[in-house]
């Protein structure tokens, strides 16, 4: 059931750029086979392992999933976030823009963390079960009455020292355009007294041209979106880890959401919501994984 506060996006298949860089049918089928194998192996490791071994399996499994799709991961910054995750110290709310089903694997290939995701992801074949076993906090976006409980669960996870990723736009956008950050999850960071770490995601081709084709748009099926990714030649996923927003920097959740949104837009070179895409700042140090 729709309600007035449900995040919505105007993006649809009309946002997709031209399909000019594709691999052939045999390469697409090869990638599909590798993707299925990567999912099964990752699911098996998550089921039988625990603790540090499971976290390592999640990171390696997500990296393999990206490679199986023909995608190369490029990480800009974030060494301190990785070190903090390994040390198991304080909780951190990690917020990112939301474009594709590849977003969560890309972030977890940097360092494993829990996520907040829409409840219907649990219905995805194989991947849904894998995401659930990784400690995902599920939110029912169609039932506004469940939101306080979700925020409370998120607060408890952060207070317990977990890194938790939230796709802060609340729904997917094409990447050429972006949406406002939803304030609700930022209340958990305030209540938990933990920092916020913005992450900016961008999808481009090997020649540097940004592409909207990895986007998971509108009512299309997961299979349709996956197939479009598998056909892409030279896909690169940029993960830009922005500066931390310390506790107390913002007066309320709306201001905190705005600070995080501004940080992500700046990293992507976007001045305002729903602006045209531009190149990443050259000053960002790049680490290739």
Mean pLDDT value across residues 43-67: 86
The CATH code that applies to domain 21-288 is 3.40.1130
pTM to 2 decimals?
Answer: 0.86
Task: Enumerate the domain spans of the chain.
Answer: 21-288
The residue with tokens 């023909």 is: 70
Task: Tell me the percentage of the chain whose pLDDT exceeds 90.
Answer: 54
What integer pLDDT is reported at residue 281 of this predicted model? 33
User: pLDDT tens digits for 221-260?
Assistant: 889 999 999 999 999 999 999 999 999 999 899 999 999 9
């Amino acid at each position: 059931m729709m309600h007035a506060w449900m995040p919505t996006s105007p993006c649809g298949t009309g946002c997709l750029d031209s399909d000019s860089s594709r691999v052939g049918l045999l390469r697409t089928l090869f990638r599909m086979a590798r993707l299925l194998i990567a999912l099964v192996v990752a699911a098996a490791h998550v089921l039988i392992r625990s603790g540090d071994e499971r976290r390592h399996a999640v990171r390696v499994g997500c990296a393999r999933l990206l490679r199986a799709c023909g995608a190369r991961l490029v990480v800009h910054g974030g060494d301190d976030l990785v070190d903090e995750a390994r040390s198991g110290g304080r909780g951190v709310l990690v917020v990112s823009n939301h474009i594709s089903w590849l977003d969560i694997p890309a972030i977890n290939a940097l360092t494993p963390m829990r996520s907040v995701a829409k409840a219907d992801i649990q219905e995805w074949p194989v991947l849904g079960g894998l995401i659930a076993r990784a400690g995902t906090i599920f939110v029912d976006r169609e039932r506004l009455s469940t939101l306080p409980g979700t925020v409370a669960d998120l607060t408890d996870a952060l207070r317990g020292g977990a890194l938790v990723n939230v796709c802060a736009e609340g729904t997917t956008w094409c990447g050429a355009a972006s949406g406002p950050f939803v304030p609700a999850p930022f209340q958990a960071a305030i209540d938990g007294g933990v920092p916020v770490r913005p992450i900016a995601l961008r999808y481009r081709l090997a020649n540097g041209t940004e592409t909207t084709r990895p986007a998971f748009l509108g009512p299309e099926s997961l299979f349709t979106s996956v197939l479009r990714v598998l056909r892409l030649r030279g896909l690169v996923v940029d993960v830009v880890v922005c500066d931390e927003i310390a506790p107390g920097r913002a007066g309320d959740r709306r201001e905190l959401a705005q600070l995080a949104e501004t940080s992500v837009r700046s990293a992507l070179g976007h001045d305002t919501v729903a602006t045209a895409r531009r190149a990443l700042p050259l000053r960002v140090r790049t680490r290739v994984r």
